[in-house]
Amino acid sequence: MARTYGEWNTEDELHFIDCIGRHRTGKHMRGANGRADRKILLESYLQSIRARVVWGLVDKKTVIDYAETAIKKEEGRDYETNYL
């Protein structure tokens, strides 16, 4: 049974962040490997959640910190792939 909006919590949101860019998307979002550019998607997500007004059971600071950390990890992967 699907949960309602008010039941979505911090753990659910963190799982959502972990899944961003992990699935195939439309051509305009694909990188060279056919997958979405996770860093770009995470940056867009972060921009949108900073504007979010209703958080319900989701802890705003935890989610923003987690998304920022995920972006930094992707930046590290980009560096390793391109320069090491």
Average pLDDT over residues 53-80: 89
Give the closest residue to 38 by CA, choosing from 15, 53, 18: 18
8 or 4: which leads in pLDDT: 8
Helix axes 60-83, 10-19, angle to 10 degrees: 20
**Percent of the chain surpassing pLDDT 90:** 50
Looking at residue 31, its pLDDT comes to 57
Q: What is the pLDDT of residue 4?
A: 62
Query: Which amino acid appears at position 46 of this protein?
Result: L
Closest CA to 67 of 15, 9, 7: 15
pLDDT confidence tier of residue 14, bands split at 50, 70 and 90: very high
Q: Residue 50 carries which side chain, given as an amino acid letter?
A: R
The arithmetic mean of pLDDT across residues 32-60, rounded, is: 86
